Every structure is written in structure tokens, then in C-alpha cells.
């Protein structure tokens, strides 16, 4: 028993000595030094600006703990969102982050939020898996009288602030570009994000809003690409088999678009020049737009979590949040400007300002 205690003490002291300066932060694996440089590239640092340095909140001890309950870290978009949060946190030495992974499970995430409350965090940042299911957890945060900042997907209950971009208007932008390119008529197929998830529902709604104005554009078929690559391949294969003439693909996720492009190449249909309109806003996606693989990429940025943290700090310091408005749900909303849809015309300007540092898949139609 004593041996075990010694061992534990040794391990603990080793861990403490490592937890200094260039400690790698969880999940992203980035150090604060790396994140400081990255912070300069973030798109929205001028919204709720905040100088670097310790944050003082009257009536609180000098150290602040902020909890972040993320949907899950199963997608690089979600990890990029955390990186923005960590980058902001690194600027304020007296801030401590507690980051929890919801595993894309509403029950797990609901428990996570309650765990954050148990740990006595000073504010909660929440990016919910699904809006309605996280409402009770959101109520618990508000009942504990601490700021609740909801990001990306909303909850229909009271909150301090909701921050997000609109998937509906973004999809209208992408679909508008598609309708223009097609000259108002043609046959399209749709590969959605995970069926029932709110961004998939909203992107579909945005597309339908636009298509209502273009009766000449016909949706031949719709399938569920689940945001990822592998389900999109058989879907697109089967669409290609069924329909000899497809003019465009409207695909909710870049990953699914890559899968569809693979299917197009394999089916020997590259020469059909099926136009691809997609979303996600990664640097790889922007490069693919520049290369002509995608005609448009909805610029849905994950770099909003730094604003979320600043909003939480504003709330703790009782500073007014400029630009916040009441809206259809209880609480306030901060509407972010829609980033322009990235097309061949502005791709150069956006490469490097998207998320993710991985390269696009080699386009099988352009080898």
C-alpha cells in the first residue's frame, strides 16, 4: 500500500511539473504559444473585444473556471471550435477551462452540464447536440445563476446569450449560387447531413426557400450522408445509376461531397461535369472550390467559441453586450454576420481563414 502511495505521489509531482508553460492542451494538442499565433487569424476577434491579461470580476476569487460542454469531438469542425476557445483562454492567465465531450449523445451531454455545475464553474458554454433535449440542463444552469452562453445550435429556453450563424440564410446563399449557375433549370440530387439534426434541417430549409422561386429546378432524389464520406459513396452511385442526367449535387457536408465525387469518378461520369454545392468552410474545401471541384462552399465557421468565452466574461463583469437582441426564444441572441459564400471569385481571399490544416483529397476527376 505504501509503495502505491509513493508511486502515486511521484506520478502526481511529475504531472505538476509538466503542467507549465508549453503544456499541450487537451483534445487539440496545441500549446498556448501555438494558439497565440492562431488567435490572430480568427475572424471575429473584433466582436466583444477583450484585451489580453488577467480578468478581474468583483466578488469572485482571482481564478475563474469556465466550463465548456461540447456536442462531441467526433468531427474536426468541433475540434476547431475548441481551438478558438482555448486560444482566447490562453490570453487570460487566471482562466481555467473544463472541457467535456458529449459524445454526440443528448443524455451524456445533459449529465456533463450538471457535472459542470457540481464542479462550481463560474460560467457555462454549451454547444448542444440537440436543442430541445438540452433544455432542462440549460434551465439548471440559469437556476444556478451563472452565465450560460449557447453556441452554434440553440436551446429554446432562457439563456444569457446565443451565438450562431444562420444555416438557413447560408444555405440560401449557396442554393442561390446554384440556381444562378444552372440558369434556373436542371436536375439536382441532394445529400443531407445526419437526418433530423438541426443544421441538416436548416440547410434543407434554406435550399427549399430558394428553389421555391425556381420551378425549373427539380430535386430528383435526397439521401442521408450523415455528414461523412462513406454513406455518400453508395448514395451517389445509386443516384448516378438511376438518373442519366444530373446537373448538380447539393450536399450538406464537404466530406459527403468528396464521397460523391469519388462515386462520380468511378462511374465514369466525370465528363458530365456535375456541379457540386456544399458547406463546412474548411481550408481544404476552399482549395477545392479554387480547383473547381466544388462550385460553392457555405462558409460555416467553427471560430465562434472565442466570442462565446468573451461573452461569458462580459456577463461576469456585468458589461453590456453590444449588438445583443431579444429574439424568438427567451434570452438574447448575438447574430454574427453571414460570411460570404466561397466561390471561385473569392476563394483565394478565404484560403487560410477557414478551419482545419489538412489538405483536400485529390480530386479523382482531375487526375
Partner 1 sequence: MLAALVLLVTAASLLSPRFLTLPNLLNVLRQVSIVGILAIGMTFVILARGIDLSVGSILGIAVVLFAGSMDRLGMAVAIPIGFVAAAAAGAVNGIGIAYAGIPAFIMTLGMLSFVRGLAFIYTGGTPIPINSQQFYELGNGYLFGVPIPALILLAVLAASGFVLGLTPFGRSVYAIGSNEDAARLSGVPVRRFTTLVYVISGLMSGLAGLVYASQLSIGTPIAGQGYELDAIAAVVVGGTSLFGGKGSVGGTFLGTLIIGVLANILNLTGVDPFVQQLFKGGLIILAVLIMSRSGRR
Q: Where are the alpha helices (DSSP H) in the chain?
A: 2-18, 32-39, 76-90, 106-118, 135-143, 167-181, 198-211, 232-242, 254-266, 283-291, 305-316, 347-350
Rule CB under 8 A: choose which of 96, 105, 361, 365 binds partner 1: 361
Q: Is 354 in the site for partner 1 (CB under 8 A)?
A: no
Give the one residue of 33, 41, 241, 349 binding partner 1; rule: CB under 8 A.
Answer: 241
Is 294 a binder of partner 1 (CB under 8 A)? no
What phi and psi, each to the nearest 5 degrees, are found at residue 73? -110, 40
For residue 205, state whether it binds partner 1 (rule: CB under 8 A): no
Which of 155, 163, 235, 321 is close enough to bind partner 1 by CB under 8 A? 235
Q: For partner 1, which residue of 119, 120, 358, 366 counts as binding (CB under 8 A)?
A: 358
Contact with partner 1 (CB under 8 A): which of 224, 280, 297, 324?
Answer: 224
Q: CB within 8 A of 17, min separation 6: which ones? A: none
| Binding status of residue 26 toward partner 1 by CB under 8 A | no
Q: Which residue matches cell numbers 435550399?
A: 207
Q: How far is the CB of 338 from partner 1 (least distance, A)?
A: 26
Q: How many residues does the chain have?
A: 367
CA-CA distance, 348 to 343, in Å (whole number)?
Answer: 9
Angle of helix 283-291 relative to helix 254-266, nearest 10 degrees? 40
- 314: which residues sit within 8 A by CB, 6+ positions away? 48, 50, 320, 321
Site string for partner 1, 152-181 (x = CB under 8 A): ------------------------------
Residue 359 touching partner 1 (CB under 8 A): yes
| Closest approach of partner 1 to the CB of residue 37, in Å | 18
CA dihedral in degrees (318, 324, 330, 336; nearest 10)?
-130
> Given candidates 147, 164, 199, 223, which one binds partner 1 under the rule CB under 8 A?
223
Binding site for partner 1 (CB under 8 A): 27-29, 73-76, 78-79, 192, 195, 220-224, 228-230, 233-235, 237-239, 241-242, 255, 258-259, 262, 265-267, 356, 358-362, 364, 367
Amino acid at each position: 500500500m505504501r509503495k502505491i502511495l509513493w508511486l502515486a505521489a511521484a506520478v502526481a509531482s511529475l504531472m505538476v511539473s509538466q503542467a507549465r508553460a508549453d503544456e499541450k492542451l487537451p483534445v487539440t494538442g496545441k500549446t498556448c504559444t501555438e494558439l497565440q499565433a492562431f488567435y490572430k487569424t480568427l475572424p471575429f476577434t473584433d466582436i466583444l473585444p477583450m484585451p489580453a491579461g488577467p480578468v478581474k470580476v468583483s466578488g469572485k476569487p482571482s481564478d475563474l473556471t469556465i466550463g465548456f460542454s461540447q456536442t462531441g469531438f467526433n468531427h474536426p469542425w468541433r475540434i476547431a471550435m475548441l481551438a478558438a476557445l482555448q486560444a482566447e483562454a490562453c490570453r487570460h492567465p487566471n482562466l481555467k477551462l473544463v472541457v467535456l465531450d458529449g459524445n454526440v449523445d443528448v443524455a451524456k451531454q445533459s449529465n456533463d452540464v450538471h457535472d459542470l455545475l457540481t464542479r462550481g464553474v463560474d460560467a457555462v458554454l454549451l454547444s448542444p447536440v440537440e436543442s430541445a433535449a438540452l433544455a432542462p440542463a440549460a434551465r439548471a444552469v440559469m437556476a444556478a445563476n451563472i452565465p450560460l452562453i449557447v453556441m452554434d445550435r440553440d436551446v429554446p429556453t432562457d439563456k444569457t446569450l446565443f451565438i450562431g450563424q444562420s444555416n438557413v440564410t447560408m444555405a440560401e446563399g449557396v442554393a442561390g449560387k446554384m440556381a444562378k449557375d444552372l440558369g434556373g433549370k436542371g436536375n439536382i440530387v441532394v445529400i443531407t447531413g445526419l437526418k433530423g439534426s438541426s443544421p441538416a434541417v436548416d440547410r434543407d430549409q434554406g435550399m427549399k426557400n430558394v428553389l421555391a422561386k425556381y420551378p425549373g429546378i427539380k430535386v430528383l432524389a435526397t439521401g442521408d450522408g450523415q455528414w461523412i464520406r462513406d454513406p455518400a459513396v453508395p448514395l451517389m452511385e445509386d443516384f448516378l445509376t438511376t438518373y442519366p442526367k444530373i446537373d448538380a449535387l447539393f450536399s450538406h457536408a464537404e466530406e459527403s461531397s468528396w464521397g460523391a465525387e469519388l462515386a462520380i469518378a468511378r462511374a465514369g461520369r466525370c465528363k458530365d461535369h456535375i456541379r457540386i454545392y456544399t458547406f463546412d468552410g474548411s481550408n481544404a474545401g476552399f482549395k477545392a472550390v479554387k480547383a473547381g471541384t466544388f462550385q460553392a462552399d457555405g462558409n460555416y465557421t467553427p471560430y465562434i467559441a472565442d466570442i462565446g468565452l468573451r461573452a461569458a466574461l462580459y456577463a461576469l463583469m456585468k458589461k453590456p453586450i453590444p449588438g445583443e437582441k431579444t429574439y424568438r426564444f427567451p434570452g438574447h441572441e448575438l447574430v454574427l454576420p453571414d460570411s460570404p459564400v466561397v466561390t471561385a471569385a473569392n476563394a483565394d481571399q478565404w484560403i487560410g481563414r477557414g478551419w482545419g490544416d489538412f489538405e483536400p483529397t485529390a480530386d479523382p476527376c482531375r487526375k
